[in-house]
Structure formats: structure tokens, C-alpha cells
Structure 1
Amino acid sequence: MELLIYSDSAVFSEKVSPLLYRNEDIHSLFLGVLGQIQANQYEDYFLALAEKEGEIAAACLMTPPHALQLVVFRHFPEIEQVIAGHLQNLGVEVSGIVGEQETSRLFAEAWTRHTGEQIKVLMNQGLYRIDAVSKGLKKSEGTWRVASKKDAEILEEWYRLFEQETGIGRHSTQAEATRRIADFLERKEVYVWEVDGVAVSCMKKSRPSKNGITVSFVYTPKGQRGRGYARSLVAEVTDELLLEYDFVMLYTDLDNTTANKIYKEIGYEQIANPVHLVFEEQ
């Protein structure tokens, strides 16, 4: 089996997208980040295809410092171990892996046998899909709108709090948060729930594919929780997004029972249980 590295994301996409689109919802993260790479939202990225007998067996994608994504299309014996070996021989640095449970576990075990690192479960995830919002859902007071530059300061604060509370990856500096929120606002990706002219909750759309789009950065500050703001915001914006897309996706932390309950009430249904593993020095 050989591992082919691609510097041209368009060529890589042309080869792998037909395989990914066979299960567009399951592979929405891979497709979405690949789309962001093609839109020049990442300067640094790694793309590779594992091929055997002229056929694509697996695909790798990584945007450092984020975790590796590995999708296996043809399950040859020890394919995860072979790919881990190829990456290590190439000197590729991998901080973790996110994706299907068994593939991620086998890759992580092979990787850490060589590095001596330990494997930590950063998040046991639920991948949810919705095709229609539940009817008769009670709405909280307030209305939603697309966020604007006037919301930048509060969104920067919420973004950093969101990272701290979810434990997702490294914590952004103030400068990094400012830059990311500015990018989100420029692309009109963030929505807020507003009560009496005050923003009380937020969410983001991201990573569109041909037929779907993903919801992320759902956050309500502690002083505003328990009033249904996030549920109302996600429900109403999801309904709006479904006018343009066939389905909407989101990832959750399965340990967060409140969030999972809210999404199910809206009409989201869990379709997969991916995992995010990180590698740490012992």
C-alpha cells in the first residue's frame, strides 16, 4: 500500500469526493474542512490518499494543530497501522485523531506504540442530523438575527469561554479570538438570540457540503442559561437553513446530557458516535 501526498486540494478533492459523498452526512466534517481548505481558510494542511492495487483505500486530512481525520473506505488488514507507519516515516506530526471509533482507536494504538505517548479521550461525540424541525416547539422570549460587528466584543468573550468549558483543543489568545470572530462575522456565519436588544445566546453555521451544513459554537453565558434561548435559536436558525439545505449536522459531547436532550427535542437524531482522541506525553 502506498500513501500519496497532495499539495493541490482541488486534485485531491476530485479524487476522494465521490467516495465521501456516498455518505455525505457521516463524512460531513471531512468534506466541510476540505471545502474550507479549497476556500483558502487554512494556510497549513496535509492531504493524503492510501492506495492499494490502484484503488483508494483511505483518506487523510489534517489542518495543524487540529487532529488528523482518517476515513477508511476499504478495510485491509492492519490498514490503520500501515498508515500510521507511513506518516511517522514522513515525519508528519499528529497530535490526535477524530473520527469513527474503531479506526481512530487502531490508528492511535499504532501511533503511540512508536511515540510512547498515552491516548486520552478528549471527547466521546454524538454526530446528529436533522431533516425537519419538530413542530409545536415552545419558543422563548426574544428573536434571532445574523450577528454583526457590534456583537464582536461579546462574541470574542463567549468564544474563549466556549473553548474553556468544552475543553476542545487549545485555548485561543485574545488576538486569535478577535481574528476568528472577525472572519465569522465577515462571512455572516454567526447568529444571536436577542432579548430586549441584548444578545443572550449564539450559534454558528459552518462547513457546507453539497446538500448539508453544520451547526457549531452553540453558547449561552451562565447568567442566561435555563431559559431556552439556545434551543429557540438553534431551532429557528436550523429551520431557516433547511430552506437551503437538505439536512443540518451537529456534533455534541455525549457527556453533556442537557445539550443532547435539547437537540433531540428540536428534531436532531444521532446517526454516529465518533471519538476525538489526543496523544500526550506520559
Structure 2
Amino acid sequence: MEFTPYKDVHEFALQAEPILAEKEDVYSLFFGVLQAIKAGRYDNPFMATIEEGGQVLALIQMTPPHPLNLIIVDEKRVEAILDVLIGELVELEIEMSSVISLKSWAYRFVAKWQEQTGMGHQLLMDQGLYRLDEVNEALQPSPGSWRLANEGDCSLIEGWFTIFEEDTGLPITPLEDVKKRVATFVGEREVFLWQHEGKVVSMMKKARPTQHGVTVSFVFTPHEERKKGYARTIVAACSTELLKNYDFCVLYTDLMNPTSNKIYQEIGYKRIADSVQLGFVVPETN
């Protein structure tokens, strides 16, 4: 097996995209990030393949400080592929804080990573990946209507961004970085807001478009407006809008939150895979 790192994203895409296109929904995170790398939105991405006899066996991608993303193409040779990958990562002294992948691949990776490095792991996100092809038209919407966010909404979205990270247990992004990210989201017309009686009560955004699909993310309703159906309504309405331009939508849910999983299934989202993000930790010593 041969490990090949890539500096040129277009050369990497020639190897990766035919594989990603075969399971565009399941590989939507990897595929969407690859498109963002091609658009110049990430600095110093790490991209690599593991190949043998001209066949790609695995795809590896990381955009620091985000997790290492791993796709195993040859399921029958997972152990050997991971041995090669981890050996190369150690030799190259690649710095990473976590790995994200389909559940079985991620747990096999961290087990071998611990053998090589002594690093333990902790569960950061236990996620279900859902796909939507058609919205359930029988849903009763909450009152109000959706609109795209504009510059005047940025301060509100910035505050919600931080609360969202707190609620989901994600690392808190510095305020200056939040401001830059929100400005980009709004400038790219990615943020949808639900408004009722002149007040914004919920939001979501689109992310990581691929050839045929798009991701729904950052679904948030402030605490005082929850349990009124706004989250389900905005996701249903704006998914309907997105399906005018895409064949399908995907989203990730926290499997530890049965309410959100129920809401998305009511809209018409169907679970297609399980994914985890596992963080690396230094084992405690006595």
C-alpha cells in the first residue's frame, strides 16, 4: 500500500470525487469540505490517499483545527489500511485533536492510534446522518415566515452562535472569529431566519453544497422561544426551498437528543448512517 499526500487540491479531487460521488449523501461532509478547499476557504489543508495497484483504498482530509476526516473504500482491508495511515501520521508528526468518520471506522482508528501513541479518546459528538428527498406536506407550520438574514441580523446571529456552541458542548469560538464567520455566512446568503410578528425566533443555515445535495446546519431557537415548533417549521420550510435547487438535503443530529431526531423524522428526513467525532486525550497517570 502507498500513502500519498497532496498539496494540489485539484489533483486530490481527481482521485477523491469519483468515490465521493458514489455515496454523495453519506460522504457529504468530506465532499462539501473538499469543494470549500477548492474555493480557497481553508489554509493548509491536509489531503492524502492510500492506494494499491492504482486503486484508491482510503481518503484522508483535514482542515486544521477541524478533525481528521477518514473514508475507508476497501472495507475488507480496514485493519491494514489503518496501520499504514497511522504509521504515516506518526512519522509525519501530523498534529490533530480529533477524528470524525463513520462510527466503526472512527473507533477502529482510535484503538490503533492508542496502540501507537498511548493517547486515549473521548466521545465529542455521537451523530446520526439524515437525508431528505421530500418534505412531509402534512405538517402544521408554526406562525410566521422565513427570510434570508442580512447585515442587520449579524449581532443577533453572533450571540446565538455562542449559545449554540454552549448548548451543544462545542469549544467556544473567540468573538472576533465568530464575527468573521457570521459575516461570511450572511454575505453568502446561507442563513435563514424564521420571523413571527416582527421578531426573529429561530434560524438555520445551509452549508457544504455538493453536486446534488446540501447540508442543513446550525438549527437554533433561543430558550424562550422553544417548544413552539419553530425549529421544525423553519427546517421544513427552508428544506423545501433548498430542494428547488438540490436533489436532497442532509443534516447531522445529536443521537443523545431524542427530541431533535423526532422533529427531523417528522419533516421527512431518514437516517442513513451513524457518525462520531472522537477527541484524543492524554491518559491520566497515577
- Measured against the shorter chain, the TM-score band is over 0.9
1:85–1:111 Cα contact (<8 Å) kept? no
Residue 258 of structure 1 corresponds to 259
Residue 202 of structure 1 corresponds to 203
Residue 2 of structure 1 corresponds to 2
Cα distance in 2 for residues equivalent to 1:272 and 1:22: 15
Deviation of residue 54 (structure 1)? 2.1
2:60–2:68 Cα contact (<8 Å) kept? yes
TM-score by length of 1: 0.97
Residue 181 of structure 2 corresponds to 180
1:81–1:111 Cα contact (<8 Å) kept? no
2:132–2:249 Cα contact (<8 Å) kept? yes
Residue 38 of structure 1 corresponds to 38
Q: Which amino acid aligns with 1:87?
A: L
Deviation of residue 113 (structure 1)? 2.1
1:135-158: CA deviation from partner (whole Å, max 9, x where unpaired): 211110111000011110010000
Deviation of residue 44 (structure 1)? 2.5
Q: Which amino acid aligns with 2:127?
A: Q
1:145–1:192 Cα contact (<8 Å) kept? yes
Q: Which amino acid aligns with 2:110?
A: A
Matches within 5 A, 1:18-33: 18-33=18-33
Cα distance in 2 for residues equivalent to 1:204 and 1:81: 38
2:166–2:172 Cα contact (<8 Å) kept? yes
Cα distance in 2 for residues equivalent to 1:81 and 1:112: 12
Residue 281 of structure 1 corresponds to 282
1:61-118: CA deviation from partner (whole Å, max 9, x where unpaired): 0011111111011132421122111111111112111111111111111112222221
1:210-265: CA deviation from partner (whole Å, max 9, x where unpaired): 10000000000101101111111000000011111110000001001111111011
2:132–2:268 Cα contact (<8 Å) kept? yes
Secondary structure of 1:24's counterpart equals: coil
Matches within 5 A, 1:42-191: 42-75=42-75, 76=77, 77-168=79-170, 170-191=171-192
Q: Which amino acid aligns with 1:36?
A: A
- What residue ranges of structure 1 are gaps of 5+ in the alignment? none
The 4+ residue runs of structure 1 with deviation greater than 4 A are: none
1:203–1:218 Cα contact (<8 Å) kept? yes
Matches within 5 A, 1:222-233: 222-233=223-234
Deviation of residue 24 (structure 1)? 0.7
1:191–1:204 Cα contact (<8 Å) kept? yes
Cα distance in 2 for residues equivalent to 1:145 and 1:281: 46
Q: Which amino acid aligns with 1:133?
A: V
Residue 16 of structure 2 corresponds to 16
TM-score by length of 2: 0.96
- What residue ranges of structure 2 are gaps of 5+ in the alignment? none
Secondary structure of 2:146's counterpart equals: strand
Q: Which amino acid aligns with 2:25?
A: D
Cα distance in 1 for residues equivalent to 2:205 and 2:74: 34
2:127–2:255 Cα contact (<8 Å) kept? yes
Q: Which amino acid aligns with 2:100?
A: V
1:175-226: CA deviation from partner (whole Å, max 9, x where unpaired): 1110110010110000000111111111000100010000000000101101
Q: Which amino acid aligns with 2:88?
A: H
Q: Which amino acid aligns with 1:229?
A: Y
Cα distance in 2 for residues equivalent to 1:281 and 1:143: 48
Secondary structure of 1:240's counterpart equals: helix
RMSD: 1.0
1:80–1:103 Cα contact (<8 Å) kept? no
| Percent of pairs with identical residues | 42
Residue 270 of structure 2 corresponds to 269
